[in-house]
Amino acid sequence: MNFQKLQTRVLAILKSPKTEWPVIAGEQTTVRELYFGYILVLAAISAVAGFLKMSLIGIDMPMLGTYRVGIGAGIGNMLFSYALTLAAVYLVGMVVNMLAPSFGGVKDDIGALKVVAYSYTASWVAGVFQIVPGIGMLLALAGSIYSIYLLYLGLPVLMRCPREKAIGYTAVAIVLSMILSFAISFITSGITGGMGMTPGSQIENSGSFDKDSPGGKIEDWAKKMESAGKEMEAAQQSGDAQQQQEAMSKMMTTALGSDSTVETLAPERIKSFLPDTLSGYTRAAISAERTAAMGFQISTASASYENGSGNMLDVEITDMGVAKGVMALAGWFGVEQEKTTETGYEKTYKQGNDFIHEQWDSLNGSGEYTKIVGQRFMVKISGSAVDIEVFRDALKGIDMAGLEALKDEGVKKGE
């Protein structure tokens, strides 16, 4: 590996991307060279920094002190998230490639992987700032934003799409990338946090978990991912665009923990679950929409409610479609979280078969209450109120049982 060449490329893409993208476009390379000469090194920065922050430096918690994750758990989390990140880069590259014709571009497997890998540079490099107290997360966020800008600049050059379509191309690619990241976040936190163990710490190469245990579930998921990957490889070699699209859809569906496709509720249907009045509040505005990309759908209905005292509540109902598989993954590991501050609290927990998220700030008199039913429908109520009970009472005015009864509607099991 030529580290001098790697350093030169990092500085060039960060400092002068407009001139560096044409240089990158003209380079002949392979998937192996991209991974071993660039991706493996850069992607490791954030993973290692995260380990240092979580296990060695620790996290300062107000009034409680410094909290550190065990070394074993920290190493397991670092390795597992690193591996999934490497896979995600390849998956996002395939998404970018598949989307190219939709935005006037030209398919190019290597070009798509290059534009994703080099766009991620800013985010990976900024990941080192996780270890900086206070502003570290802001700097890491700035890196992620700059990566989006790099992708926007690179798509017209690497995928040859018209400049005026680059914004839409970038937006759709980022949305699908976020879905993958969301899945990775849940899987990683579930295994290393929810189970309280390091990945593989109780797995021998010759053994396996019980079928219905959390470990058994993740083993089954890994096998399905391997199978979907082989189908994707075969589709790529066939040159059949339809077969490639179907294989890509299956790959992403499997990554999200689902074995089916889902047609989400129509906008008018989901909007009907928002009543005219809600716990003394009157509906002032309402809207609904269904968006789709790469065969994935999400339907959302939202409404604003107000009372005579000037308080307002915002209510949002989301049919997560195939992303519901993520909730199943979280359920395998009993993912929960709770933290408190001087002025409030935030917690995520499971109540029966439903996930609930609460957040309250007594200083501002504001918060939110979210409930996920049927591992598919997310209902979120937020706004200003005297206490969190206002949100809980408002939720009682929504037909949650009716939503849960629709959890299997539009679901089509995969072959």
- What is the mean pLDDT for each group of 10 consecutive residues in the chain (415 residues)? 82 92 92 88 83 69 60 70 80 86 89 93 85 72 87 94 89 74 51 37 40 56 64 73 68 58 86 92 92 68 88 88 52 58 84 83 89 86 90 93 90 63
Q: Which two tokens stand for residue 66?
A: 């410094």
Same domain, 151 and 293: no
12-15-18-20 Cα dihedral, nearest 10 degrees: 0
Same domain, 66 and 139: yes
- Do 196 and 340 belong together in one domain? no
Residue 219 in any domain: the answer is no
Q: Is residue 24 part of a domain?
A: yes
What is the C-alpha to C-alpha distance for residues 258 and 329, in angstroms, rounded to an integer? 9
On whether both 126 and 11 belong to a single domain, the answer is yes
Q: How many domains does the chain have?
A: 2
**Which residue type is seen at 89?**
V
For residues 266 and 192, the answer to whether their CB atoms sit within 8 Å is no
232 part of a folded domain: no
The whole-angstrom separation of Cα 37 and Cα 119 is: 15
Domain assignment of residue 257, yes or no: no
Verify that 87 and 190 share a domain, yes or no. Answer: yes
Q: What pLDDT, on the 0 to 100 scale, is given for residue 85?
A: 79
Domain limits at 386? Answer: 267-413
Same domain for 163 and 303: no
* CB proximity list for 366: less than 8 A, separation 6 or greater: 360, 382, 383, 384, 385
Residue 403 lies in a domain: yes
In sign, the C-alpha dihedral spanning 217, 258, 230, 27 is negative
Structural domain includes residue 391: yes
Angstrom distances, CA of residue 172 to CA of 39, 91, 92, 248: 23, 14, 11, 15
Q: Name the nearest CA neighbour of 393 among 372, 369, 376, 365.
A: 369
Let me know if residue 126 belongs to a domain: yes
Same domain, 284 and 173: no
- Report the distance separating Cα 305 and Cα 303, nearest Å: 7
Domain boundary among 202, 228, 256: 202
In a shared domain, residues 168 and 274: no
Helical spans, DSSP H, in 285-388: 324-333
What pLDDT was estimated at residue 4?
Answer: 82
Is the same domain home to 190 and 281?
no
Are residues 14 and 102 both part of a single domain?
Answer: yes
Q: Do 274 and 379 belong together in one domain?
A: yes
Q: What pLDDT, on the 0 to 100 scale, is given for residue 118?
A: 95
Of 150, 174, 202, the residue at which a domain comes to its end is 202
Cα 42-111-6 angle, rounded to 5 deg: 30
Q: Return d(Cα 48, Cα 190) in angstroms, integer.
A: 19
Last residue of a domain, one of 202, 226, 243: 202
Q: What pLDDT was estimated at residue 155?
A: 94
Residue 149 lies in a domain: yes
**Inter-residue contact 274 to 315 (CB < 8 Å):** yes
Quick one: 144 and 50 in the same domain? yes
